[in-house]
Each structure stands twice: as structure tokens, then as C-alpha cells.
A and B are shown apart, each in its own frame.
Chain A
Amino acid sequence: MSFLDKLFGKKNSADSAKERLQLVLIHDRTDLTPAELESLRDDLIATVSRHVEIDVTAMQFGMEHDGRTQRLVADIPIKSAARRRASSSRKPKAR
């Protein structure tokens, strides 16, 4: 790693290797491609949205690992009931 590389913020190759491996191993271990993971995320949003109103922009979704166990972690903020009522009172009731 040369001085110039550091100056221009180029990452060490060991860091790139580790980050790339982290992603590759998730997919190898779970047999899920990034595209499949994306569609799982969309399905999850659709399912949860049928029951509660969620804040998709603030949602967190991804794989974490605990030792050799992969964990699918989703953190989905739910819009508060007050705000929901406020916005729905302007529209005709669904039921």
C-alpha cells in the first residue's frame, strides 16, 4: 500500500478481501443470491404491510452471522397509530 494510495483513500487489499469474502460466504452458506434476498425483502414488506403500516425507508434488512450460523435480521419501524388515524381519517374507511 503506497503513500499515494492512502492519500487518495484507496482501501487496503486485505480489507477488500475480507469484505468480499463476508458477502460471498453469506451466499454460499444460505444458498441465497443477492437477487433472491432482494425478492425476500419485497415479500416481507408486502406481508407485513397487510397487517400494519410500516416505514419502509427506515427499515433495516440483512444477514448477520453468529459464529457459523447465519441470521436474517429485519428491523421494521411501524408507523404510529395516531399518525395512521390522522392520515386515514381524511380518506373513507376501508371497511
Chain B
Amino acid sequence: MTAQVITVTSGKGGVGKTTAVANLAVALASNGSRVVCIDGDIGLRNLDVILGLENRIVYDIVDVIEGRCRLKQAMIKDKRLPNLHLIPAAQTRDKNAVSASDMTRLTKDLRAECDFILIDSPAGIERGFKNAIAPADRVLVVTNPEVSAVRDADRVIGILEAEDKGPGALIINRLNPSLVRRQEMLSADDVLDLLAIELIGIVPEDEGVLIGSNRGAPVALDPKSKAGEAFRNIARRLKGEEVPFLDLESGSSLWERIQKLAGRR
């Protein structure tokens, strides 16, 4: 078996790429897959802190590419999940230290060793993004139900199509169900209608994401978290399982349930 390379990208910054990579990584690894994450955001390293692995970094991706260490030495093993590894980004270098062919070579060496290679792309459509998608077998595009994030996602999808990477699959992150019900936020259907690509997950806005990142423990490790459940479902879909989408948009508060019973909705 050779690994599948999955790149997570978005166009717009801050929509949840790193959050998605960290959560998918722990969810896949919890289910027994061997996972290697690569932080492709050179100069703005973050995946290490979100995964809680920042204290164990010795070498980074540029050290591997420039031959200062072996690939294995730059792979940090997660103490919670022994089949999860991280190759951190270089913090003090700029993105020109890595090329698309470096990324392809690196993943080629890793493919035999694991089941999934997850690459966290930087925001934008420049070199760092191009490097991150170069080795991808599959691209996940993260967006928020918000005009600028959807517009940027559309740009990225257009570039993916032009580069023959397929249109990608969509993760709609930070959906706020009560705003959607009040029609003050684009619904998942609206976003899908606009972008017209395959949907792979809808993740609700969840304060647990912030709390998890404070602790270095992604929400997918918390069995009670809704966002965690959404990420675990995406991980199962990546493994080819058919998992129904969470019903986030129908009324769930007590007041809304009463209104529903009274036939007001």
C-alpha cells in the first residue's frame, strides 16, 4: 500500500486549514491509519502548536531538503498516537527555501511508510500554495460561509482545475447554525450551489476548537465535541466510508423545538 497525499488549502487565510489538518490527522490516526503531517507554511509554523508537539522539534522540513538530517529525524512522533508524525515547517526561513519538486520528492520517500500524508498549505495562491498542491493526490478546500472566503475558495478551485488537480472537495468550516436559521449566514447548500464541487464535510463553529488549541489537543480527540465529530466524519469519508452529514441547520434549541411543535416553522 502506498500513502494518499492530501493537501488542505483555502485561498483566504484564517479559515481553518491548520485546524482541519490537525483534526483529520488525529482522527485518522485514532482509527489506526499511519499518518504523517507536513506543515507547508514555511516561516509561519503553526501545526506543531495546534498538535501540541512544539517542544520536541529538533529538525524541520528545510533541514531535510537541504540534507542536514535524514527524513526520519525530522519526523516528530505524537505521544498520544504513536502512528501520527509531524514534519514541522522551518520558522526562520522564507518559502523560497522549498520548491514543488522538493515536496514531490519528500512525499515520494514517505509514501511507502504510511497511509496518509496530510499537507497544511499556507494561505494565498503563491509559491507556498503551489508547493503544497504539487504532490497532492487529493485537495481539500476549506472555506467559511462568508463572502470573501467563498470567493477565494472559488479562485483556488479554478486554479486546481487548471493544474489538473481535480476540483477538490469542500470543507465548510465555522458554520453557525443559529445564524443560518435566521438567514444571516450562507447555508451549506448556498455555498455548495455557488462553488459546485463535492462536499466532504461541514464543521460547526465550536468554542472547543479554541480550547483544544490552547491545550495542544485537537477537538477530534474529544468524543463530546460537535466540531470533533464533524472532523472524525470527514476522516471516515477520506477512508472511503459513506457517512451522512450532521444535521446542523435544523432547530435544536429548546425555544426552536417548541416553535416547531407549535407548527411555527
Contacts and interface: CB of A to CB of B under 8 A. Distances in A.
Interface in A9-28: 12-15, 17-18, 20-22, 24-25, 28
B151 A14 contact: no
- The list of the 7 closest CB pairs from A to B, nearest first, reads A12-B183, A14-B183, A67-B196, A68-B196, A13-B184, A18-B190, A17-B147
Interface in A49-95: 65, 67-68
A1 B183 contact: yes
Contacts of B186: 14, 17-18, 21
A68 B150 contact: no
B204 interface: no
Contacts of A18: 186, 190, 193-194
B157 A68 contact: yes
Instruction: Please report whether the interface of chain A is mostly helix, strand, loop or mixed according to DSSP.
Output: helix
Contacts of B147: 17, 20-21, 24
A32 B10 CA distance: 24
A21 B150 contact: yes
Interface of A: 1, 12-15, 17-18, 20-22, 24-25, 28-29, 65, 67-68
Interface in B175-204: 180, 182-187, 190, 193-197
Interface of B: 146-147, 150-151, 154-155, 157-158, 161, 167, 180, 182-187, 190, 193-197
Given A13-B183, A14-B190, A21 B196 contact: no
Contacts, number: 51
B194 A14 contact: no
A67 B183 CA distance: 24
Given A28-B151, A29-B158, A68-B161, A14 B197 contact: no
B151 A21 contact: yes
A21 B194 contact: yes
